[in-house]
Chain A
Amino acid sequence: MAGSGNAHMRAGADRVLSVHDLVVEFPVGRGQRVHAVSGLHLDLVRGETLGILGESGCGKSSAGRAVMQLPPPTSGSVVLEGTELTGSGGRALRRARARMQLIMQDPVSSLNPRRRVADLVAEGLDIRGEREDRRARVDAALRSVGLDPDTVRDRRPHELSGGQCQRVCIARALVLDPALLICDEPVSSLDVSVQAQILNLLEEAKERHGLSMVFVAHDVAVVKNVSDRVMVLYLGKTCEVLPSEGLHVRAAHPYTRLLLDSVPGQENGDAPGERAAELPSPVDPPSGCRFRTRCPWAQERCAREEPQLREVGPGHHVACHLVE
């Protein structure tokens, strides 16, 4: 997508999450709507990490949040471990929320500055009324993210560095023993050396707790490093889904190629670049393929017909008329 279709969905298997035809729209007045996510399909096998890659405004964060029902999507279905989440509310949703946890971009602003680390980590337990072994579970969670419980337990967020705050956020998520972790740009506000620590930590946590992850980010190298499969979004539509192994060589969609050529140090002087710099408005997205206004190879057909996701290799699906 910048077309549509669900050819990349896998049958059977032990699926933790499956999302069908997810649509997220926000009213912006005068009867107009921002089309943040338009008909997204994705599935996640136990223990798998799906990377969602795209630039600002591509709908990657909206998609991650819609899975969490924060806020619920405009339409579509989100099934977590066999439970349909869209349309369910109240107690059922609250129960499901413990099974999926969100790690956000800015760790400092996502922690309440007035509360102590131990209470921040225990918040989920308190909400669920799980009082048993509260302290032991909090300590175990802190230890599992590489923090010394005796040192940090009584600190407040401002006494910690950005990297340590992100560790607290991860501990907060892990203490509830979730099945699914949704990470929305978890390292983009951190320094390079700290970013490496947090990425390693997420990998370890995933292995130890048997987690599945949706990893939303704009940095190709970071996404490739943590993911098994990568989904590329543009203006709310899927461009390409492919295994992260060999991604930089196999990627076929013109938009994925543009992202790869823009990675510093990877600049390719021969690349055709792009046509116009401006991202079209998500209020009134282009007809046909949404990427066509920036695509150097766009043809008349691209404006008329929306490309469907097609398999071009094992586990590799592309929505582009021009990719063989």
Chain B
Amino acid sequence: MSEPLLDVEDLRTTFHTPRGDVHAVDGVSLRLEAGRTLGVVGESGSGKSVLGRTVMGLVSSGPGVTVSGRVSLAGQDVHALAPAERRRLWGPRVAMVFQDPMTSLNPVKRVGRHIDEVLRLHLRLGRREARERTVGLLRQVGIPEPERRAGQYPHELSGGMRQRVVIAAALACGPDLLIADEPTTALDVTVQRQILDLVASLSRRSGMAVVLISHDLAAVGGRADRVAVMYGGRLVESAPTSRVFGAPRHPYTGALLASAPRLSAAPHSRLPTIEGRPPDPADPPPGCRFAPRCPRAEAVCRGGAPPLLDLAPVGGHPHEVACRLPLEAESTEVGHGR
């Protein structure tokens, strides 16, 4: 196995609130090699966005927040760097794309300036050189008439075009790692497909690693090499994409897959649901966090946090599951998607 580009070890992000400590990310370890795409899937409150931001270094220890564990990006410990040094990572090493392209662009700044700025600041390009590169980047992300578009304001572009601009800005310095936090949730399905295809093709072309964070298992499915499923701030399952969809081993992953309506199912079929509510992050249940909602749970599940163990056969890709009573390897689930 090659040296991973991203190596996250026992990462914990804790917010200190008046209601008590909220363990948003609670002991997550993962690695990602260059050129690979990792999908991080979870429902709201699972800690997936905080994980992305902590990996990026946007969330770091300070008033009200404690980050422990280690995030190593191309050999550098992100959280051991001084803020000014960490800022130098953003752009050339790691970049992030957020959910809502309207709020991540400045409404009173022309589209081109968002990208010029990145190039001039990080790569010390001159005004004219930066603009040339900007137009090239806009063309690369599939924006028609890039010269004209660069002179427009964000509100003159559609949601899909705006998200392309955000991606162009993120790619401006050729980052090794792109963290995309729900990049298509605010967009229409046909546009969602275009944007995910775009990220996939850019990653293929430049060897950029991608962390794709989403609440939608199916959206991530077609694009990721591996999928990590989060629940209550912890990883519950991490496996090659086809294994997660074809033979999930954690009961939560299985239930999540089953609860999405399928196109192939007959109309009016009842959907299997997950009873109860996600755990309160300020007061999580002891032991396995999914135990109170899990139909398979037994006394042993409430005892202590189940470790993330590799259940894959020897020599296979790791299939890690944090469950004491995992689902059988031969599951009835076939294929992925709906």
- Interface residues of chain A, those whose CB is within 8 Å of chain B, are 55-56, 161, 163, 191-193, 195-197, 199-200, 203, 218-222, 224-228, 244-245, 247-248, 258-267, 274, 276-279
In the complex, which residues of chain B have a beta carbon less than 8 angstroms from the beta carbon of A276?
144
Cross-interface CB contact of A225 among B161, B190, B265, B274, cutoff 8 Å: B265
Contact of B43 among A191, A264, A277 (CB under 8 A): A191
Contact A200 B273 (CB under 8 A): yes
Q: Which of B191, B222, B274 is close to A277, meaning CB atoms less than 8 Å apart?
A: B191
Q: Which residues of A contact B277 (CB under 8 A)?
A: 161, 163
Chain B residues closer than 8 Å to A191, beta-carbon distance: 43-44, 215
CB-based contact A263/B271 at 8 Å: no
**Are B216 and A192 in contact, CB atoms less than 8 angstroms apart?**
yes
Residues of B within 8 A of A277 (CB): 142, 160-161, 191, 194
> Within the assembled complex, what's the spacing in Å between the Cα atoms of A163 and B44?
12
Nearest to A164 among chain B residues (CB) is B277
B44 contact set on A, CB distance < 8 A:
191
Distance of B289 from chain A, by nearest CB (Å): 14
Tell me whether A193 and B43 are in contact (CB under 8 A): yes
A193→B273 contact, CB < 8 A: yes
Choice from B189, B259, B335, B338 contacting A218 with Cβ under 8 Å: B189
9 contacts between A and B (CB under 8 A): A191-B215, A196-B272, A199-B261, A218-B189, A225-B267, A262-B190, A263-B263, A265-B336, A277-B194
- Bound-complex Cα distance A178 to B337 (A): 36
Which of B43, B215, B267 contacts A224, CB < 8 Å?
A: B267
What is the CA–CA distance of A105 and B260 in the complex, to the nearest angstrom? 18
The complex places the Cα of A197 from the Cα of B293 at a distance, in Å, of 14
B residues near A244, Cβ cutoff 8 Å: 267
Provided the pairs A224-B263, A264-B218, A267-B222 are in contact, do residues A278 and B161 lie with their beta carbons within 8 angstroms? yes
Chain A residues with CB under 8 A of B217: 192
Report B's interface with A, CB cutoff 8 A. 43-44, 142, 144, 158-161, 188-194, 215-222, 255-256, 259-274, 277, 335-338
Contact yes or no, B192 A193, CB < 8 A: no
Residue of B nearest to A161 (CB): B277
- Partner of A55 from the list B189, B256, B263 (CB cut-off 8 Å) is B189
Known A193-B43, A221-B338; judge A260-B261 contact (CB<8 A): no
Query: 8 tightest A-B contacts by CB?
Result: A265-B337, A264-B218, A196-B271, A196-B259, A225-B261, A55-B188, A191-B43, A193-B274
The distance in angstroms between the C-alpha atoms of A274 and B335, with both chains bound, is 26
B144: chain A residues within 8 A (beta carbon): 276, 278
A56, A163, A220, A274: the one within 8 Å of B263 (CB)? A220
**B259 close to A195 (CB less than 8 A):** yes
Beyond contacts A263-B189, A266-B263, A276-B144: 16 other A-B pairs, Cβ-Cβ < 8 A, are: A192-B43, A193-B274, A196-B271, A196-B274, A197-B273, A220-B263, A221-B263, A222-B261, A224-B267, A225-B269, A260-B263, A264-B192, A264-B216, A264-B221, A265-B218, A277-B194
Given A192-B256, A220-B263, A265-B336, A199 contacting B221 (CB threshold 8 A) = no
Chain A residues, CB < 8 A from B336: 265
A55 CA / B190 CA spacing, docked (Å) = 8
Chain A residue nearest to B268 in the complex (CB): A203
**Which A-chain residue is minimally distant from B275 (CB atoms)?**
A197
Q: Establish whether residues B192 and A262, one from each chain, have CB atoms under 8 Å apart when the complex forms.
A: yes
> Which of B188, B261, B266 is the one whose CB lies under 8 Å from A221?
B261
Closest approach, in angstroms, between the C-beta of B117 and any C-beta of chain A?
A: 25
Q: Name the residue on B nearest A266 (C-beta).
A: B337
Residues of A within 8 A of B338 (CB): 221, 263-266
The reply to whether B269 and A258 contact each other, CB–CB distance below 8 Å, is: no
Question: Which residues of the partner chain B approach A196 to less than 8 Å between Cβ atoms?
Answer: 259-261, 271-274
The distance in angstroms between the C-alpha atoms of A191 and B48, with both chains bound, is 14
Q: How far is the CB of A162 from chain B (nearest CB, A)?
A: 8
Residues of A within 8 A of B255 (CB): 193
| Bound Cα distance A56, B190 (Å) | 11
- Which residues of B have CB within 8 Å of A263? 189, 218, 263, 337-338
How many angstroms from the CA of A56 to the CA of B220 in the assembled complex? 22
A residues near B271, Cβ cutoff 8 Å = 196, 199-200, 225
Which of A55, A163, A226 contacts B267, CB < 8 Å? A226
A245 to B263, CA, bound (A): 10
Residues of A within 8 A of B194 (CB): 277
Across-interface contacts of B219 in A (CB, < 8 A):
264
With a cutoff of 8 Å between Cβ atoms, the chain A residues found around residue B218 in the complex are 263-265
A169 to B46, CA, bound (A): 26
Residues of B within 8 A of A199 (CB): 261, 271
A203, A244, A267 — which one has the most chain B CB atoms within 10 A of its CB? A267
Chain B nearest CB, measured from A258 CB (Å):
6
Is B266's CB under 8 angstroms from A245's CB? yes
